[in-house]
Amino acid sequence: MTEQPYDIHKAAAIIMQDRKVLLTRSKGKDVFVSPGGKLEAGETPVQACVRELKEEISVDVSETDLEYVGTYYAEAAGGSGKALRMDVYTVHNYAGTIQPDNEIEEIVYVGSVVPEDMEVGSIFQHEIIPYLTAHDLID
């Protein structure tokens, strides 16, 4: 994919369990998104992904346990009008027990069919979940 202009740069993780993918919802928000977050100054997307997984869902991940899936562009969730670049990685292994931490209020696992009453960030809704379904990784 060709580089596009963006306002926000995030790194996101795909974590699967029982053929479903993990999504998180931050306190005060309605949209479920992948675990991950904004890059800090001087940080690579892989470093940001490792840091954010520790901060958001209390797991330790080695950089070598992340596999690059792709870079996606969309409008940032929440109707801000800002352009988002998201580098997405599959997590092959982690240490610890997944649990909401810091700003994360709720975690859920979803399959290929997202419940109608659940709002999911556009990149995961329109790109990642179909990708995982097409590759027979989620039901």
* Domains parsed from the chain with CATH numbers: 8-134 (3.90.79.10)
- 59-93 pLDDT, tens digit each: 999 999 999 999 999 988 766 788 999 999 999 99
Work out the average pLDDT over 94-107: 96
Model pLDDT, residue 78: 67
Strand boundaries in 15-65, DSSP class E = 16-17, 20-26, 31-32, 36-38
pTM of the model: 0.93
State how far the Cα of 113 lies from the Cα of 65, in Å rounded to an integer: 27
pLDDT at 96 over 80: yes
pLDDT of residue 76: 82
Q: According to the model, what pLDDT value does residue 20 have?
A: 98
The pLDDT value given to residue 1? 58
pLDDT tens-place string over residues 5-62: 999 999 999 999 999 999 999 999 999 999 999 999 999 999 999 999 999 999 999 9
Using DSSP, state whether 83 is helix, strand or coil: strand
